[in-house]
Amino acid sequence: MSTNSRFAVAVHVLTLMAWSGDEPLKSEQVAESVNTNPVVIRRMLCELAEAGLVISQTGSMGGSRLAGNPAEMTLLDVYQALEYRGVFSLHRQPPSRDCPVGVNIETVLGQVLEEVDAAVEHVLAKITINDVVQRLRPCVSTAENKRNHYSREPIALPHLRAGAKSRRVKSLRTT
């Protein structure tokens, strides 16, 4: 069984946007940071835009940016934007109705899962995208000491215009 990483990727995307300030980011640039295909990012950006978390503009000068204040955008907003309905799920196939455990396990686990979901949502509601950015800052400071870091400054997007792929990679990569 594998876990779904869409929530982590969405938080990564929104945190990168908060980190970069008001300048729109290209899906290729975001994909470079996430280490995935730009198509994956574009699909996710559509979902985040539908939820009102990002604003996207097409065209050569386009890109995506946060739709609101990162200090007011919670991880619960992100979680709900991706239409997650529960941290865990019940059986894929109905359990045996001839078994005393199988006949009742979904009812009992359903109650437990409701409690787990409520606890997760309670925690996510307390953490904002800005909090994630602030938690990254000490990590960046540590990396700066090793001379292997991302810049703390907003990402230099003018270098990304007109298909400057090699400059884009340099703007996101470590120095």
**Could you tell me which residues are beta bridge partners of residue 74?**
128
- The mean pLDDT of 3-32, rounded to a whole number, is 91
Phi, psi of 51 (to 5 degrees): -85, -5
Check residue 94 and report its DSSP letter. P
64-77 average pLDDT score? 96
- For residue 143, name the pLDDT band (cuts at 50, 70, 90): low
173 or 142: which carries more pLDDT confidence?
A: 142
- The dihedrals phi and psi of 171, each to the nearest 5 degrees, come to -70, -25
CB atoms within 10 A of CB 8: 12
User: Would you place residue 158 in the very low, low, confident or very high pLDDT band (cuts 50, 70, 90)?
Assistant: very low
**In the numeric block, which tokens belong to residue 103?**
């006949």
Rounded to two decimals, the pTM is: 0.75
pLDDT category of residue 72 using cuts at 50, 70 and 90: very high
* Whole-angstrom distance, CA of residue 100 vs CA of residue 103: 6
Q: How confident is the model at residue 9 (pLDDT cuts 50, 70, 90)?
A: very high
CA dist 74 → 17, 38, 64, 125 (Å): 14, 24, 18, 6
Q: What is the pLDDT of residue 137?
A: 79
Residue 59 is given by DSSP the state S
Distance CA 72, CA 156 (A): 25
Residue 38: pLDDT over 60: yes
